[in-house]
Amino acid sequence: MASNDIKAAVQRQFNQVAANYSTSSVHAKGRDLEEMLAAVPLTGQEWVLDAGCGTGHTALAFAPQVAQVVAVDFTEGMLAQGRQLAADRGTTNVDFRFGDVEKLPFADAQFDLVVSRYSAHHWPHPANALREFHRVLKPTGSLVLDDIVSYDDFTCDTYLQAIELLRDPSHVRDHTIAQWTAMLTAAGFVDVTIVYSGGVAIDFAAWIARMATPPANAALIRTLFDGAPQEVKAALQIEPNHNFTFAGAVIHARKG
């Protein structure tokens, strides 16, 4: 699938389900979000870019601790939900803007911190996005990236990508920590550090409903889970009711 087709799929898919993400507990809170907030000492003067902001949960978490957050997403429906959440909370220092993380509409060295959470697996060309983050960061700036990560084991990786794609046709890839480290280094970042790694517990029914996954696709995922080899069931902690656990990581890197 060409990158333009992938991006169109992202817009089509998430415009339809944006409201579901504004109320998603997985996105609104979590140990990983707490670790993102703690990854960089904040003075209250920072300008922060939230890249692939979705409905704004990460931007709104950072807002009370920084001067300004610019929250960028490729889907207008998600941005609208974010603006409403900000208004409901009385948050005035988050600016929601339409934009593509692989071609950011900002000047060089504009931000102190770039953050991104649960977005990177939708990027057709993550290396391009990382180069853009490096470009818009000030010389002393940092990136904090949080996403689902894949497995070095090929079988587990295959199953993970398959269930992700069946659930969400705009999915591109969950990368491994080693792959992220290599891409960050190639983009010019230094001191790449895993500040947190842990499981993201998934309620299967809510996960499917949030993305409005077609029933036939949901059935296929259940079939894959039921027939999965033991190493896959162990890695994903698949339960009899098909609840499972993703592996996630929060990665910090400095601009080199």
Distance separating alpha carbons of residues 177 and 151, to the nearest angstrom: 8
Domain locations along the chain: 3-148+171-198+247-255
Structure tokens of 38? 């703690």
Spatial CA neighbour of 110 closest among 40, 64, 51, 186? 51
Q: Residue 106, SS3?
A: coil
Mean of pLDDT values over 62-76: 96
**Residue, of 240 and 6, whose pLDDT is higher:** 240
Q: Give the count of beta carbons closer than 10 Å to the beta carbon of residue 88.
A: 10
Q: What is the pLDDT of residue 27?
A: 61
Q: What are phi and psi of 84, to 5 degrees?
A: -70, -40
The yes-or-no verdict on residue 207 having pLDDT over 60 is yes
pLDDT-wise least confident of 9-18, 182-191, 239-248: 9-18
Q: Which CATH architecture best describes the domain 3-148+171-198+247-255?
A: 3-Layer(aba) Sandwich (3.40)
Q: Encode pLDDT of 16-67 as tens digits.
A: 554 555 455 556 668 999 999 999 999 999 999 999 999 999 999 999 999 9
CB 32 within 8 A of CB 146: yes
Measured from the Cβ of residue 100, the count of other Cβ atoms closer than 10 Å reads: 17
Task: Pick left, alpha or beta for residue 7 (phi over 0 → left; psi -120 to 50 → alpha; otherwise beta).
Answer: alpha
For residue 30, what pLDDT is reported?
85
User: What is the share, in percent, of the chain residues with pLDDT greater than 70?
Assistant: 89
Share of the chain above pLDDT 90, in %: 85
Q: For residue 1, what pLDDT is reported?
A: 47
Tens-place pLDDT, residues 187-200: 999 999 999 999 99
Are residues 162 and 224 in contact, defined by beta-carbon separation less than 8 angstroms? yes
Of 251, 133, 246, nearest to 191 by C-alpha is 251
pLDDT at 24 (0 to 100): 53
Angle made by CA atoms 54, 60, 179, in degrees to the nearest 5? 50
Find the mean pLDDT for residues 113-117. Answer: 98
